[in-house]
């Protein structure tokens, strides 16, 4: 659809991000077109990040690609427009907010039921599978980027940190034997030694955060900027990216180490998300960025309460420190789908499935609260 600034009417502000500002907008020249989300980037904003325009153009190209190759859990480009001062593009509007706001609004304990986790993870796996099939690694999975459509289905948004890569097909089988106690101990000792060098401090002298310090409420996520690494090229297709990007609590060990990364970082982030949905917090969050990264490299996820064994195993296998041992590394999305946690799930029916915890209930509650005010 062709858009023109003079025909657009801003209804309200939806949010501000690292790249630009998002508005709910109506096109006055097309009354039958429902309102949509319009992302706007100021080209000459002195307070914006230097690569904001580059990242915006990359996101537009991804959304344009998704328009030609539609998926029920991914947005598509409705239209875009540009003048000397602004760059803007339109995507579908999701009235039920994001997964993080849904969790806080519907659940006083700030965690989802196992059935709801299974429902949302399955849709995310489907969305990531589609992106990976296009050669795109997402690299910024977190609740704030998972919007809820009015039907209760998810919509994975914000592709400014994504990257197109190309890798050779993997033919090696996934190791079937569990990691031995000796091997696990050796790897942990290696990570401890690594962090002493990397962070310049003794791991054993760092006190653990107390439960009161580990707030359940998620703080606003901060983007991790590239640090002394090869600058990402959005156009070229390399086997691995060496950019240091993502959200601190979701960054994978290979990104922290600077080893280079590819699609496996998305499966790591899926494990972090699954844990946060179940416990209301991420597993490796520290009191500072350095402590968080140290925990990513050295800690194992801690499980409390009565969680299903299959769910614990799914998280454990997604949060393998070495990407070659991580669930999904060799077999991609199909390997993750085959995990026992998803046994009996009809993947082909996901787009039509009723939401386990969904946007319709959220919208009804929000309308009721507005009337009461």
Instruction: Confirm whether 85 is a catalytic residue.
Output: no
What tokens appear for 330 in the block? 């060799």
CA atoms within 13 A on the CB side of 211: 2
Contact (CB, 8 A) for 347 and 122: yes
Which is the catalytic residue, given 27, 69, 98, 140? 140
Q: How far apart are CA 295 and CA 288, in angstroms?
A: 11
Q: How far apart are CA 339 and CA 321, in angstroms?
A: 19
Q: How far apart are CA 41 and CA 285, in angstroms?
A: 31
State the angle between helix axes of 264-279 and 114-133 in degrees (0 to 180), rounded to the nearest 10: 160
268 phi, psi to nearest 5 deg:
-60, -50
Contact (CB, 8 A) for 93 and 24: yes
Alpha helices in the chain (DSSP H): 52-68, 99-106, 114-133, 181-199, 253-257, 264-279, 289-298, 309-318, 332-337, 359-372
**Closest to 41 in 3D by CA, of 146, 164, 180, 160:** 160
81 phi, psi to nearest 5 deg:
-150, 160
Separation of CA 338 from chain center: 21
- How many of the other CB atoms lie within 10 Å of CB of 171? 6
Helix, strand or coil, per DSSP, at residue 117: helix
Could you give the residue numbers annotated as active site?
A: 140
């Amino acid at each position: 659809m062709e858009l023109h600034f003079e025909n657009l009417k801003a209804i309200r502000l939806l949010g501000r991000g690292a790249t630009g500002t998002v508005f709910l907008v109506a096109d006055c020249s097309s009354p039958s077109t429902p309102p949509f989300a319009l992302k706007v980037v100021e080209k000459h904003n002195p307070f914006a990040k230097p690569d904001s325009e580059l990242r915006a153009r990359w996101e537009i190209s991804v959304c344009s690609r998704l328009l030609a190759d539609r998926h029920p859990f991914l947005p598509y480009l409705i239209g875009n427009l540009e003048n000397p001062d602004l760059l803007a593009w339109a995507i579908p509007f999701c009235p039920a907010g994001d997964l993080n706001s849904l969790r806080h609004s519907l659940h006083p304990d700030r965690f989802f039921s196992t059935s709801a986790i299974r429902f949302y993870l399955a849709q995310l796996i489907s969305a990531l599978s589609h992106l990976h099939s296009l050669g795109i690694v997402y690299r910024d999975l977190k609740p704030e980027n998972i919007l809820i459509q009015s039907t209760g289905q998810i919509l994975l948004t914000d592709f400014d940190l994504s990257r197109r890569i190309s890798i050779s097909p993997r033919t090696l089988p996934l190791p079937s034997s569990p990691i031995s106690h000796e091997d696990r101990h050796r790897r942990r000792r290696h990570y401890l030694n690594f962090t002493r060098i990397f962070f310049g401090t003794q791991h054993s002298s760092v006190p653990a955060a107390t439960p009161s310090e580990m707030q359940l409420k998620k703080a606003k996520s901060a983007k991790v900027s590239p640090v002394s690494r090869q600058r990402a090229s959005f156009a070229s297709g390399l086997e691995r990216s060496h950019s240091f990007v993502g959200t601190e609590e979701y960054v994978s060990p290979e990104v922290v180490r600077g080893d280079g990364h590819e699609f496996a970082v998305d499966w790591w982030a899926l494990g972090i998300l699954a844990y946060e949905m179940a416990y209301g917090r991420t597993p490796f969050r520290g009191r500072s960025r350095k402590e968080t990264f140290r925990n990513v490299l050295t800690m194992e996820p801690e499980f409390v309460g009565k969680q299903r064994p299959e769910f614990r195993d799914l998280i454990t296998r997604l949060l393998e420190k070495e990407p070659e041992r991580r669930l999904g590394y060799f077999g991609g999305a199909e390997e993750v789908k085959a995990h026992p946690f998803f046994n009996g799930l009809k993947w082909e029916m996901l787009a039509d499935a009723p939401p386990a915890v969904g946007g319709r209930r959220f919208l009804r509650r929000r309308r009721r609260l507005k009337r009461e005010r």
